[in-house]
Amino acid sequence: MEVGAQFGDEGKGKIFDFLSADAKYVVRTGGGPNAGHTIHLPQGVVVLHQLSCGVLRRGVVGVSGPGMVVQPFSIEEEIRELERRGLLQGEVAISDRAHVLLPVHEIEDAWQDDLRARRNPEGALGTTRRGIGPAYSDRAARWGIRIADLDRPAVLRENLELMYAAKSHLANLPPIDELASRLAEVGGRLAPYVRSIEPILWDALARGERVLLEGAQSALLDLDFGTYPFVTSSHPTSAGALVGSGLPPTEVDSVLGIAKAYATRVGGGPFPTEETGEAGEFLRRVGGERGATTGRARRCGWLDLVLLRYAARLNGLTALAITKVDVLGGLEEVPVCTQYEMPDASTVRDVLPTHADDLARARPVYERLPGWPEFHARLRERLRREGASALPATLRRFLDRIVEETGVPVELVGYGPARDETLRLPPPVTRRTGAGLSAWSG
């Protein structure tokens, strides 16, 4: 399985697409239309919001899994747009257990975030306003509507009436009769894609077929273990991926954490290594750091090894993928945060403070590593031809430092957006934790 190991936007779509070439099923395990996985194909750029990247590969089944909240109207548009562009190469499967995200939830999401901002401008979460939190709340309240309910008019109507009664404080709700009719219609159009996913995956594993679990958002946005309340409403961790797919932990053979060579964050919340000046603007400009879903400029900063160590322990990472190393090419030095100094003079190395306010007061302590050359055309061609051995020595040292600090081997390196701009590194001699584990052993 693959999980984001930072605050999101780590280039997960590129890595998922790369690995899906060897999979039979690729299962998106959580979230909804608040996520955008950007994939650069020879035919052009694709941004997937609710579909798994498996739909872009011939012979692969892309699953929108049971842990998701699915906006039925926009997922239908996403399918049709891929068909129109000739990019729907795999098969689409939508879990019948996934919950339905409604226009009602989008209205409620905006109302909630506006309420927070009015009471405390610094407390606004900066959500995507796509209705994710309210949809998950209704799921937990047990009056949510599931994809399987769209062809059951009595169930659909009863739960809509419950929702409307609970949300009577909201203005401009769509007429309930109109919404019920539209949901029934879109449910009929989506019916050919709806499946009971769990037995399909169980049977696939019994046949020895490869199943790839595709996480959305990232570990530091986990509802319980992220920077609460500046988090998402699901569990984008390795444990959450199991719940969101219906697979047992005994079937997991690897957990790949995906991280950028620097860090970004969208929306509110603490960000210890954030750079608000010239350095941050450089990362934003060169890295093209704008949200794939919202278009918002991302906050940018340096790689935070404290939080990466925390994500590694939380998720049980067995390997790392480090993306966008090309963005830092040409810098004289590259800062990485190795620990925090707290206001009480204590230091923090591998835990996330429970209170977001405490993390906001942490002062990053940086180690400054030598930079590496720009990724000019000649270097890119050498990398395509020679592989990892062509990586600059100073970049190797940067990757080794990540391995030393996290105890997790670097398996993949992304140096550009294209499918063929990903390197698979040789495995270490031993898979152990602690300093001294090198990405270049073996």
Residue found under tokens 């990757």: 399
> Which of 17, 22, 37, 358 is an active site residue?
37
The answer to whether the beta carbons of residues 215 and 315 sit under 8 Å apart is no
Q: Is 74 helix (H, G, I), strand (E, B) or coil?
A: helix
For 87, other C-beta atoms within 10 Å of its C-beta total: 16
> Which of 9, 17, 96, 138 is an active site residue?
9
Cβ neighbours for 377, distance < 8 A, ≥ 6 positions apart: none
Quote the CA–CA distance of 278 and 290 in Å, as a whole number: 17
Quote the CA–CA distance of 246 and 66 in Å, as a whole number: 8
**Crossing angle, helix 103-119 and helix 132-141, to 10 degrees?**
110
For 432, other C-beta atoms within 10 Å of its C-beta total: 10
What tokens appear for 311 in the block? Answer: 């994500």
Residue found under tokens 């919404």: 179
Q: Is 38 helix (H, G, I), strand (E, B) or coil?
A: strand
Tell me if residue 37 is catalytic: yes
Residue found under tokens 């230091």: 347
For residue 91, list its beta bridge partners: 61
Quote the CA–CA distance of 265 and 250 in Å, as a whole number: 33
Dihedral pair phi/psi, residue 441, rounded to 5°? -70, 155
Helix (H) or strand (E) holding 106: helix 103-119
The answer to whether the beta carbons of residues 103 and 112 sit under 8 Å apart is no
**Crossing angle, helix 176-190 and helix 72-85, to 10 degrees?**
40
Q: Is 265 helix (H, G, I), strand (E, B) or coil?
A: strand
Quote the CA–CA distance of 423 and 24 in Å, as a whole number: 22
Q: What is the CA radius of gyration of the chain?
A: 22
Quote the CA–CA distance of 365 and 305 in Å, as a whole number: 10
Which stretches within 248-354 are classed as H helix? Answer: 278-287, 305-315
Q: Which one-letter amino acid corresponds to residue 277?
A: G
Q: Which residues are catalytic?
A: 9, 37
